[in-house]
């Protein structure tokens, strides 16, 4: 991984999203800002690693005029019921 991908700024943000009335799904969101100097291959590798090892999925991507990219990742928060 190049220095550009390592310089990606990571902003952890938590939100809850309800889908439907009966089923509630809660997601954890993460916003990653990638610099202009990050190549397409580095960005793909970064997102693939996050999806494979961190169980993140791509929620939204924005490409800005200067070449900067902002990526929103989300993953489902698993609620564990106490067994005691």
Name the domain count of the chain. 1
Model confidence, pTM:
0.69
Containing structural domain, residue 25: 3-74
* Residue 38 counted as domain residue: yes
> What does the pLDDT look like over 9-41, one tens digit per residue?
666 554 444 444 335 678 999 999 999 999 999
pLDDT at 12: 53
For the cut 80, the answer to whether the pLDDT of residue 74 exceeds it is yes
Question: Is the four-CA dihedral 48, 49, 55, 57 of positive or negative sign?
Answer: negative
Cα gap 33→8, rounded to integer Å: 6
Q: Decide if 84 is inside a domain.
A: no
Residue 83 lies in a domain: no
For residue 64, the 8-state DSSP code is -
Residue 81 forms part of a structural domain: no
């Amino acid at each position: 991984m190049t220095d550009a991908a390592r310089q990606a700024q990571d902003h952890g943000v938590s939100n809850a999203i309800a889908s439907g009335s009966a089923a509630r799904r809660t997601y954890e969101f993460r916003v990653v800002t990638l610099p202009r100097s990050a190549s397409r291959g580095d960005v793909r590798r970064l997102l693939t690693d996050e999806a494979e090892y961190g169980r993140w999925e791509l929620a939204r991507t924005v490409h800005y005029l200067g070449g900067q990219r902002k990526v929103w990742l989300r993953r489902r928060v698993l609620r564990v019921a106490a067994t005691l």
